[in-house]
Amino acid sequence: MAVVVDRFRSSTWGWLRGTLAGWGTLALCLFAVGFVIILVKWVRNLAVTYEVTEDRLILHKGIFVKSIDEIELYRVKDVRIDFTLLNQWADLGTIAITSSDETTRAGPLVIRDVDHARARREKLRELVNAARIKRGVREIDIVPEDL
């Protein structure tokens, strides 16, 4: 069994304090509408858990009907982080993972509202490099030439 290096969910509290939409929702709490928005956001965040092991990124999805999807770390091509000025203040970010895995064929896996996103991104990059070394895999990009 692989050792779990990190386990996290998107942060509802981080979203509230680290985004303009969150601050707007807190303002709407004066009219009770904001509480409904926070509840919906919390249930969405509760439905997906991300687990990082030495070899894989595992997505546990669902509350009543569960599914598990995995991305082998040696297949990860890029780990990007995006954050606004408000996100930086709240130590929150959005991590986008591009890989050659079927999970990200249609587009990058986007994990929003991640607490300590910079540290998590760096740890993920280290694990990706270690997984490539362990398997003896190299990243080679082939760019088609226009004729």
How many domains, in total, are found in the chain?
1
CB 71 within 8 A of CB 104: yes
Q: Residue 65's domain is classified under what CATH number? A: 2.30.29
The two tokens of residue 104 are 């990200």
Classify residue 23: in a domain, yes or no. Answer: yes
The residues, any chain, with a CB within 8 Å of residue 54's CB and separated by 6 or more, are 2, 3, 5, 73, 127, 130, 131
pLDDT tens digits, 17-46: 889 899 898 888 888 888 888 899 899 999
Is residue 98 within a helix (H) or strand (E), and if so which, with residue range? strand 92-99
> Residue 144 falls within a domain, yes or no?
no
- 113 falls within a domain: yes
Q: Has this prediction a pTM greater than 0.75?
A: yes
Q: pLDDT tens across 53-112, in order?
A: 999 999 999 999 999 999 999 999 999 999 888 888 888 999 999 998 888 888 999 999
